[in-house]
Structure 1
Amino acid sequence: MKTGLVTDILSYMPFEEMLDTCRELGIETLELGCGNWSSAPHLDLDGLLESADKRKQLLETIQSRGLEISALNCSGNQLEPTAQGEKHAGVVEKTFKLAGLLGVKTVVMMSGCPSAGPSDTVPNWITHPILPPHFDTLDWQWNEVAFPSWEKAVKVAKNSGVEKIAIENLGFNLVHNPETLLKLRNEVGEMVGMNLDPSHLFWMGGDPIAAARTLGNAIYHVHAKDVRIERGINDVNGLIDVKPMESFADRSWNYVALGYGHSVEYWKEFFTVVKMMGYEGPVVLEMEDLTMDPLTGVKKSMDVLKETLPRDFKQTNSGHYTALAHG
């Protein structure tokens, strides 16, 4: 279980400075944003698709630091029935193609969320279908939009050389928990699995440890990301909170650095259970704690990750961390 980083966190750093920082912190793998919701700060999607020399240079620059690419990320809403949705779908296909050309076997993305019906253009995440029309909406979203779209996406990914599509369990998407992931997987096949991001289950009221046991070998990628439920606010207003993330002092929950929402003991159990389920892939930090600067948040999160992952680390004379054994 190698340590990794969603490099968008250090988007303000030039590419090679970001790589050197990762090496110094003991990060071993990179999850690179390719576009859509990501600004793709460290990767030129079109340029790399067009040039074998640029692809070779990218890989050599990464490998020269002892790093590797664990996944490409093209998270967005490709099911949105607008020009924006078409653009996102195009980035998804390009990301599949680039992953194949780079030899990257895993692509991280979202399932997407359609509109409420064929005449609507606004994505609509149904969370409380108490009236019959909402059941009709869910049926349309899954059967008329999501399943056909994902059947095509799986074919494109396979033809590109991608082996795993890791769908993140983010709210506001059709796939947002194990039940919905398995619903899609049962329809389109085992090319799709979950990018298990515990933070989202926390704010939706779930338990990532129980989710990991349910998912088993459908865990294709893991994000190390924490949430703190804010006492005194959640108790009054509950977990449904539409205030912007920047209003962290008034929200009922917040994304926080690893260990700032749940204890070290919790993370030890979570990572151990994930490994018990057969997962041996990377554990990738995604840090969105707005109460500290990004690099500080990454450093503090890495301290927790090194303490809680079920493997050993050693510190070299140069101050770099390396693994005693990659398990």
Structure 2
Amino acid sequence: MKLGVFSVLFAQKSLEETLDYIAEKGLQAIEIGTGGYPGNAHCDPDTLLADSGKLKAFKDAVESRGLIISALSCHGNPLHPQKAISADHDAVLRKTIELANRLEVGVVNTFSGCPGDHEDAKYPNWPVAPWPNDYQEILTWQWEQKVIPYWSEIAKLSTDAGVKIGLELHGGFSVHSPATMLRLREAAGDAIGANLDPSHMWWQGIDPVQAVHILGRAGAIHHFHAKDTTVDPVNVNRHGVTDMQSYALMLDRAWQFRTVGFGHDMKVWADIISALRLVGYDYVVSIEHEDGLMSVDEGFTKAVQNLQQVLIREPLGEMWWV
């Protein structure tokens, strides 16, 4: 396995400064935002696709630091009922797939998106209860008319480009759990898999180790994010896990994102890394920093230090004791 980072947290730095900083920390990989919610501070697909010289210079800048690009990421909602939003996010995704092909990057990360509840809806509708039956009807319409058709098309596009799609399992979107991930993968094809982030498993009440087993046995983990979560034992009883308060209200929220090791101890993270190895995932563990109690530098640095203790780097080798 290689240790990497999702570079959007360094958007205030230039690409060169970011690459130098990451390399100095001893990392081997970088995940780069190309638009959508993460922005494209370090990588503008339009610019790179239009100029082969700039494309080569971009690739050389990464490789000259001994780094690889683990994924290009354009998290967005290409199923948004407002056509201006969905068209923009869809266009960015398609350009990112093309750019990944040109850069020889194997994974594009994004969200599944979430449609509205009918063709003329204005906002996404995320059903989370089976009753009243209206919610079931909405869910059926979304998957049959929007989710499966769209991602089946994108799966073919990405397959033709030699690229895998890593959907981050995230609340508020149609694919948010191992089951919804596998449902879409079965319908759309093996190009669709997970960018598995344990932080979103914990707040939904899902054990990340079991999520790794469920998805890994199906070969459905394309990329992995390293981010932690802590659940407040008092506040969760007031607000539940679907707490709608701002992330900024950390003292009152039911749960909040933390840097690696500040939500769960290293034994838990060692179990996650071991589970990844067990199911055959031997790619990049990409740090994502969204800890409201730590600066970017401190949160990132502590995540690196903690993960260095549990990351399994070397090939397995022969079991000499068997």
TM-score range, shorter chain: over 0.9
User: What is aligned with 1:234?
Assistant: 236
User: What is aligned with 2:108?
Assistant: 107
Shift of 1:129: 2.7
Q: Is residue 137 of structure 1 aligned with residue 138 of structure 2?
A: yes
- What SS class does the counterpart of residue 270 from structure 1 fall into? helix
**Corresponding letter in the other structure for 2:145:** E
Shift of 1:32: 0.4
- Tell me the TM-score normalized by structure 1: 0.93
Q: After alignment, is 114-123 or 181-190 more displaced?
A: 114-123
Shift of 1:52: 0.7
User: What is aligned with 2:319?
Assistant: none
**Which whole-Å CA distance do the structure 2 matches of 1:326 and 1:113 have between them?**
39
**Which whole-Å CA distance do the structure 2 matches of 1:89 and 1:254 have between them?**
30
Shift of 1:238: 2.1
**Which whole-Å CA distance do the structure 2 matches of 1:254 and 1:3 have between them?**
24
The match for 2:224 among 222, 225, 233 is 222
Shift of 1:206: 0.8
- What SS class does the counterpart of residue 98 from structure 1 fall into? helix
> Contact (CA 8 Å) 1:30, 1:70: kept in 2 or not?
yes
**Which whole-Å CA distance do the structure 1 matches of 2:39 and 2:189 have between them?**
30
**Which whole-Å CA distance do the structure 1 matches of 2:26 and 2:171 have between them?**
31
**Which whole-Å CA distance do the structure 2 matches of 1:5 and 1:245 have between them?**
22
Q: Is residue 13 of structure 1 aligned with residue 13 of structure 2?
A: yes
**Corresponding letter in the other structure for 2:309:** E
User: What is aligned with 2:24?
Assistant: 24
- What SS class does the counterpart of residue 199 from structure 1 fall into? helix
User: What is aligned with 1:45?
Assistant: 45
**Which whole-Å CA distance do the structure 2 matches of 1:231 and 1:202 have between them?**
13
User: What is aligned with 1:125?
Assistant: 126
User: What is aligned with 2:320?
Assistant: none
User: Alpha carbons of 1:326 and 1:23: their partners in 2 closer, same or farther (altered >3 Å)?
Assistant: farther
User: What is aligned with 2:306?
Assistant: 304
Shift of 1:245: 1.1
- What SS class does the counterpart of residue 211 from structure 2 fall into? helix
**Which whole-Å CA distance do the structure 1 matches of 2:4 and 2:192 have between them?**
21
Q: Is residue 243 of structure 1 aligned with residue 251 of structure 2?
A: no
**Which whole-Å CA distance do the structure 2 matches of 1:250 and 1:133 have between them?**
32
Shift of 1:38: 1.3
1:159-198 equivalences under 5 Å are: 159-162=160-163, 164-198=164-198
**Corresponding letter in the other structure for 1:290:** G
**Corresponding letter in the other structure for 1:37:** Y
**Which whole-Å CA distance do the structure 2 matches of 1:119 and 1:56 have between them?**
44
**Corresponding letter in the other structure for 2:142:** Q
**Which whole-Å CA distance do the structure 2 matches of 1:181 and 1:103 have between them?**
25
Shift of 1:121: 2.0
The match for 2:261 among 259, 262, 279 is 259
Matched pairs, number: 313
**Which whole-Å CA distance do the structure 1 matches of 2:117 and 2:35 have between them?**
26
User: What is aligned with 2:99?
Assistant: 98
**Which whole-Å CA distance do the structure 2 matches of 1:247 and 1:233 have between them?**
11
- Tell me the TM-score normalized by structure 2: 0.95
**Which whole-Å CA distance do the structure 2 matches of 1:152 and 1:298 have between them?**
37
> Contact (CA 8 Å) 1:268, 1:310: kept in 2 or not?
no
**Which whole-Å CA distance do the structure 2 matches of 1:231 and 1:135 have between them?**
31
Shift of 1:159: 2.6
Give 5+ residue unaligned stretches, structure 2.
Answer: 317-322
**Corresponding letter in the other structure for 1:153:** I
User: What is aligned with 1:314?
Assistant: none
**Which whole-Å CA distance do the structure 1 matches of 2:199 and 2:13 have between them?**
25
Shift of 1:185: 0.6
Shift of 1:287: 0.7
**Which whole-Å CA distance do the structure 2 matches of 1:271 and 1:289 have between them?**
21
> Contact (CA 8 Å) 1:168, 1:195: kept in 2 or not?
yes
1:83-141 per-position Cα deviation (integer Å, ceiling 9, x unaligned): 11111101010001100111111111111100011231210111113111211111100
**Corresponding letter in the other structure for 1:35:** G
> Contact (CA 8 Å) 2:239, 2:253: kept in 1 or not?
no
**Which whole-Å CA distance do the structure 1 matches of 2:298 and 2:178 have between them?**
32
**Corresponding letter in the other structure for 2:89:** H
- What SS class does the counterpart of residue 251 from structure 2 fall into? helix
User: What is aligned with 1:213?
Assistant: 213
**Which whole-Å CA distance do the structure 1 matches of 2:186 and 2:201 have between them?**
21
Shift of 1:307: 0.6
1:263-317 per-position Cα deviation (integer Å, ceiling 9, x unaligned): 1110001110111001011000001001111111000000111011123xxxxxx
Shift of 1:326: 6.2
**Which whole-Å CA distance do the structure 1 matches of 2:279 and 2:242 have between them?**
31
Shift of 1:237: 2.7
Aligned-pair identity in percent equals 36
**Which whole-Å CA distance do the structure 2 matches of 1:56 and 1:176 have between them?**
36
